[in-house]
Amino acid sequence: MSNDETEEVRRTMIALGTPQQNLEKAAEKWNTDQLREQFEVVGFLAPFVAVVRKSDGVKGTLEFTHMPRWYFNFVKDDK
């Protein structure tokens, strides 16, 4: 039994190809090298990655696709 309340939603997103669809609409995207330059990665829960933006220390999340690997849709964490 999982304590992750988001697991079912995340699995459904992956199964439906939602990350790929969202990538096609993304205004900004980063490959792995670009991600490393601009963000510190603090955790993964596919299709999301928790990050800290290096330029200003803002915490947030990015969505990502597996193949090809792209990161996109930065959302600031308001907590």
DSSP letter string, the chain: ----TTHHHHHHHHHHTHHHHHHHH-S-EE-HHHHHHHEEEEEEETTEEEEEETTT--EEEEEEETTTTEEEEEEE---
The confidence score (pLDDT) of residue 2 equals 60
61 vs 2 pLDDT, higher one: 61
Q: What is the mean pLDDT of residues 24-41?
A: 97
Q: What is the mean pLDDT of residues 21-35?
A: 96
| Assigned token pair, 13 | 């997103």
| Assigned token pair, 8 | 């079912």
**Is residue 29 over pLDDT 80?**
yes
Q: What predicted TM-score, i.e. pTM, was given to this entire model?
A: 0.87
Cis status of the peptide bond prior to 47, with omega within 30 of 0: yes
